[in-house]
Amino acid sequence: RLAKEGLESRLMPGIPSFKELF
């Protein structure tokens, strides 16, 4: 889970929507 969040954050650090949606 941490790895996925880190990858998403690095790919789009300007769109923290994944963390809010999930």
What are the tens digits of pLDDT across the range 1-22? 566 666 666 666 566 666 665 5
Could you give the C-alpha distances from 15 to 1, 3, 6, 21, 22, in angstroms and in order? Answer: 18, 17, 13, 11, 13
**How confident is the model at residue 14, as a pLDDT?**
60
**How confident is the model at residue 1, as a pLDDT?**
55
Q: Are the beta carbons of 18 and 8 closer than 8 angstroms?
A: yes
Burial class (CB within 10 angstroms; exposed 0-12, middle 13-18, buried 19+) of 2: exposed
Residue for token pair 């300007």: 14
**How confident is the model at residue 2, as a pLDDT?**
63
**How confident is the model at residue 13, as a pLDDT?**
59
